[in-house]
Amino acid sequence: MSNYQAITQAKLGQIVLTATINTVYTCPVNTRTFIKDINICNTTGAAITVNVHLVPSGGTADTTNALVYGYSIAANSYWQRTGSQIMNAGDTIQAKASTTGTTITISGGEGV
């Protein structure tokens, strides 16, 4: 049994979102990941729509694993999700935006 009390906190991923689905983070082999915060910052002068998916290992980003789907972030604003999500080895966080101009940052911790 793993001791999930021994967690190394970290910034797990940060990328600029595009109109194509991209993997932001992949949970490493023999690891479980605790997602604490997901922040998406819109740096443009227009609203941008975003999708964020927690995809099981070997899966595809779709409506069955959407954490947020079709959410509009106002111009020069941000969206933040704080709450617990647990990922298993090989699971991914994938995301896209309606256009370039947003940055996603994910923080949490990894444990074995």
What burial class does residue 7 get, using C-beta atoms within 10 Å of its C-beta: 0-12 exposed, 13-18 middle, 19+ buried?
middle
Domain assignment present for residue 19? The answer is yes
At residue 14, the pLDDT reads 97
Domain assignment present for residue 6? The answer is no
Domain assignment present for residue 4? The answer is no
Q: Please list the residues that pair with 6 across neighbouring strands.
A: none
Domain assignment present for residue 3? The answer is no
Domain CATH code at residue 18: 2.60.120
Domain assignment present for residue 63? The answer is yes
At residue 7, the pLDDT reads 73
At residue 1, the pLDDT reads 44
Structurally, the chain folds into a number of domains equal to 1
Domain assignment of residue 87, given as a range: 11-111
At residue 4, the pLDDT reads 53
Domain assignment present for residue 67? The answer is yes
At residue 111, the pLDDT reads 87
Domain assignment present for residue 102? The answer is yes
> For the chain, which residues score pLDDT lower than 50?
1
At residue 53, the pLDDT reads 98
Domain assignment present for residue 1? The answer is no
- pLDDT, one tens digit per residue, over 19-29 is 999 999 999 99
Q: What is the C-alpha separation between 81 and 60, in angstroms, rounded? A: 22
Model's pTM, two decimal places? 0.91
